[in-house]
Amino acid sequence: MNKKEPLLYISKRESITWQKSWMIRGIAILLALVFCGIITMLLTGLNPIEVFSTIFYGAFGTMRKSWVTAQKLAILLGISLAITPAFKMRFWNIGAEGQVLIGCLACAACMITLGGKVPSALLVLISLAASLAAGALWGFLPAIFKAHWETNETLFTLMMNYIAMQLAAYFIIVWEVPKGSGNIGIINQNSQAGWLPVLGGQQYLLTILLIAVLTGFMYVYLTYSKHGYEISVVGESHRTASYAGIKVGRVIVRTMVLSGAICGLVGFLLVSGNDHTLTTTLVDGRGFTAVMVSWLAKFNPIGMIFTSLLLVVLERGATEISSVFSLNHSFADILTGIILFFIIGSDFFTNYQVHFRKAKKEVE
């Protein structure tokens, strides 16, 4: 038995067509959905078709539900777009949570302190600028340390999340209405000062349109601009980049400032355009989910529309299921986790080939 070829061995794929790689993912998602269906069936006793129709109803069942789904999609997609340039550069920014929240905080700060003192349109612009600046600062700090001293960015950005969160908690108590309630309530409810205008009677339409524009911009920026090219070179290898005359440190800082600023923009949209309030859980873990959205789509902004749609629909659907069956709403997180595990696992088959000993058959 000894000296025999191992039962299976693995080799790296030279290249793979995008059709094939998306097909592998499609299969993985399908398997994951079947698996989720089985889990749901076991817990609730629904039959599989009912499971998926309930999920679909939860996401698109009524006009109102569809709008909320679209809004959630826009926000998640926005955050995913924001972190993508950094990830493409292999800068593991898991601080989107904090970067968005600090944007929210800056926006809320402007709305509260300047509400009624300046015209509403000007106030919107001021809070937009403040949010962008705050987000950019939260991106700049880890980047400058990474660029100069190789400080681990994953851990740095992680800590920045909690600093942002405690700052928000601090200001929430400073501004709480009424005193002692521990929350701010709707900001400028009567004057609506600093609120984004409502387009066509649909509160979320403007947010959705802005994110759509942002998607296009990010696609062009990453694919066709010089900056985008520099980002991919730095992502491949710092050394290659500096031989090619790219100033690696400058690219890192520039990209992270952009990344943070877009996070700040999403924070602005959340506060000024959607929720009109500030809580420490406003971002609700989406800064972390965005990492997965972006990575699942291979950092392709167009692909991210689909990956974020998948996760948002699943989340809304699972929420529907858990409220119908009075189960805990964290059911959505379990389903999301399962889908993610399958897709993460499937990635192996797009990067590597498995060969069996006798039959020279490829296994996808």
Partner 1 sequence: MFDFVSFIPRAVMQGTPLLFGSTGEILTEKSGNLNLGIPGIMYVGAISGVIGSFFYEQSMAGQPLNGFWAIAIPMACSLLGSLLMGLLYCFLTVTLRANQNVTGLALTTFGVGFGNFFGGSLIKLAHSDVPSVALPATSAFFSKHLPFADNLGWFGKIFLSYGFLAYLAIIIALIASYILNHTRAGLHLRSVGESPATADAAGINVTRHKYLATCIGSMIAGLGGLYYVMDYACGIWSNNAFGDRGWLAIALVIFTIWRPNISILASILFGGLYILYLYIPTGTQMEVKELYKMLPYVITLLVLIVVSLRKKREDQPPASLGLSYFREDR
| Contact set with partner 1 (CB under 8 A) | 11-12, 43, 92, 94, 145, 149-152, 154-156, 158-160, 162-163, 166-167, 169-171, 173-174, 285, 288-289, 291-292, 295, 326-334, 336-338, 340-341, 344-345, 347-348, 351-352
- Of 129 and 169, which has the nearer Cβ to partner 1? 169
d(CA 323, CA 228): 44
Integer Cα distance of 131 and 134 in angstroms: 5
- Looking at the Cβ atoms of 272 and 300, the one nearer to partner 1 is 300
> 119 or 337: whose CB is closer to partner 1?
337
Phi-psi region of 262 (alpha: psi -120 to 50; beta: other; left: phi over 0): alpha
CB-based contacts of 128, cutoff 8 Å, min separation 6: 107, 265, 268, 272
For residue 121, which of 175, 189, 191, 74 has the smallest C-alpha distance?
Answer: 191
Residue 33 beta carbon to partner 1: minimum distance, rounded to whole angstroms = 16
Question: Which of residues 189 and 330 has its CB atom nearest to partner 1 in the complex?
Answer: 330
DSSP H or E stretch at residue 352: strand 352-356
Cα–Cα distances (Å) from 50 to 45, 54, 317, in that order, read 10, 6, 12
Among 130, 158, 143, 133, residue whose Cα is nearest residue 85 = 143
> Could you tell me the sign of the dihedral formed by the alpha carbons of 218, 222, 225, 228, in that order?
positive
Residue 164 in contact with residue 138, Cβ under 8 Å? yes
Collapse the DSSP code of 362 into the 3-class scheme (helix H, G, I; strand E, B; otherwise coil) and give the result.
Answer: strand
Integer Cα distance of 96 and 258 in angstroms: 12
Nearer to partner 1, 126 or 327 (CB): 327
Pick from 106, 107, 84: nearest CA to 96: 84
For partner 1, give the closer residue by CB, 168 or 233: 168
Which one, 36 or 257, has the nearer CB to partner 1? Answer: 36
Closest separation between CB of residue 94 and partner 1, Å? 7
Q: Which amino acid makes up residue 234? A: V
**In angstroms, what is the minimal distance from the CB of 162 to partner 1?**
4
d(CA 354, CA 361): 9
The nearest distance, CB 219 to partner 1, in angstroms, is 21
Least spacing, CB of residue 331 vs partner 1, in Å? 5
How is residue 198 annotated by DSSP?
A: P
Burial (CB < 10 A; 0-12, 13-18, 19+), residue 272, is buried
* CA gyration radius, the chain: 23
Task: Compute the least distance from the CB of residue 134 to partner 1, in Å.
Answer: 16
292 or 310: CB nearest partner 1 = 292
Using the minimum distance from each CB to partner 1, give the nearer residue, 145 or 306. Answer: 145
Please, what is the minimum distance in Å from the beta carbon of residue 49 to partner 1?
23
Which of residues 119 and 345 has its CB atom nearest to partner 1 in the complex? Answer: 345
Which stretches within the chain are classed as H helix? 18-44, 48-60, 63-88, 96-114, 120-149, 153-175, 205-224, 226-236, 238-243, 248-268, 286-296, 301-324, 331-351
